[in-house]
Homo-oligomer: A and B are copies of this chain.
Amino acid sequence: MRLMTSSDKPENPETAGAPTGVAAQDWATAAADPQYRAAVVDLLGALAYGELAAFERLAEDAKLAPTLADKAELAKMASAEFHHFERLRNRLTEIGAEPAAAMDPFVAALESFHKQTAPSDWLEGLVKAYVGDSIASDFYREVAARLDTDTRELVLAVLDDTGHAEFAVEKVRAAIDADPRVGGRLALWARRLMGEALSQSQRVVADRDALSTMLVGGVADGFDLAEVGRMFTRITEAHTKRMAALGLAA
C-alpha cells in the first residue's frame, strides 16, 4: 500500500487521491470493527509509552549536557514529549481504554531498546534523540494513512515540533567540524541505533497481531510480512539519507 508521504516515488493509483475505507471514516464508524479498535488501542498505547520513555531518556541525557543552555534545551524536548504522552493517554481514556493496560505490552521492547542503546556521552545522546525522533516521525506518518480521521489528526499532531532535529543537527555538525574523527564514531553509533530499533520493532510486530495487520493495510485475514519488510525498508532508507545529510555515513 502506498503512503501519503512517499512523495519521492510515483503514485500508486490504488491509494492516490481521496482516502478510502477506514481512512475516510471517523472513529465512531471505524471503531465498530473490533479488530480495528484493538489495533488503535495498541497503536496509541505503543506511541504513549514511546513518548513517556523518550521523556525519561531525554531527561537522563540532559545530565550529560556540557552547558546550562544545552541542558535546558534537552529538558524542553523532554517536556514536549511528555505533553505528547498526555494527549495520547487522554485519548486512550476518551475511547474507553485503560492507558496503563494499553501501554504495558510495549514496555519490554522499549526498555530493551533503551537499555541496549544507552548513550555514553552528550553527542551520542543527541544523535539518539535525533534518530529516535526521526524514525518515530516516519513511523507515525506511515501509519497515519491507515487511520480513521480522528485518530489520524491526533497522531499527526503529536508528530510535530519537539525541536530535536534542528538542535541536534547543529550540535553534531559543529562537533564533526571540530574533530572529523567524531563522525566515524557517531556513524557507527547511528547504525547500532537503527539496528536495535528494527530488531525491537520486529519483535513488537510479531507479538501484536491486530496492530501488525493494520500496519500492512488492514488485511483482516492475516498480514503480509513482505509489506512489513517494505515499510521497514522505507524507514531505513529515510534514516540513511538523514545520516548522510548530517555528515555521517550510514
Contact = CB atoms under 8 A, between A and B. Distances in A.
B62 A56 contact: yes
A75 B52 contact: yes
Contact of A68 (B55, B69, B82, B100): B100
Interface string A58-95: 01101100011101100110110011011001000000
Contacts of A215: none
Interface in A92-108: 99-100, 103-104, 107
B82 A76 contact: yes
B89 A72 contact: yes
Contact of A82 (B49, B75, B99): B75
Contacts of A104: 68
Contacts of A86: 76
B75 A56 contact: yes
A66 B209 CA distance: 28
Q: How large is the interface on A (under 10, 10 to 19, 20 to 34, 35 or more residues)?
A: 20 to 34
Nearest to A49: B68
B52 A68 contact: yes
A165 B99 CA distance: 24
Interface string A26-52: 000000000000000000000001001
Contacts of A60: 59-60
A55 B79 CA distance: 9
Nearest to A51: B75
A67 B56 CA distance: 14
- Which of A82, A85, A86 has most chain B Cβ within 10 Å? A82
A60 B59 CA distance: 8
Contacts of A63: 56
A85 B72 contact: yes
A68 to B, nearest CB: 4
A104 B55 CA distance: 25
A56 B63 CA distance: 8
5 contacts: A52-B72, A59-B62, A60-B60, A75-B85, A79-B83
Given A49-B68, A76-B82, 16 more contacts: A52-B68, A52-B72, A52-B75, A55-B75, A55-B78, A56-B62, A56-B71, A59-B59, A59-B62, A59-B78, A67-B100, A68-B99, A69-B100, A72-B89, A75-B85, A79-B83
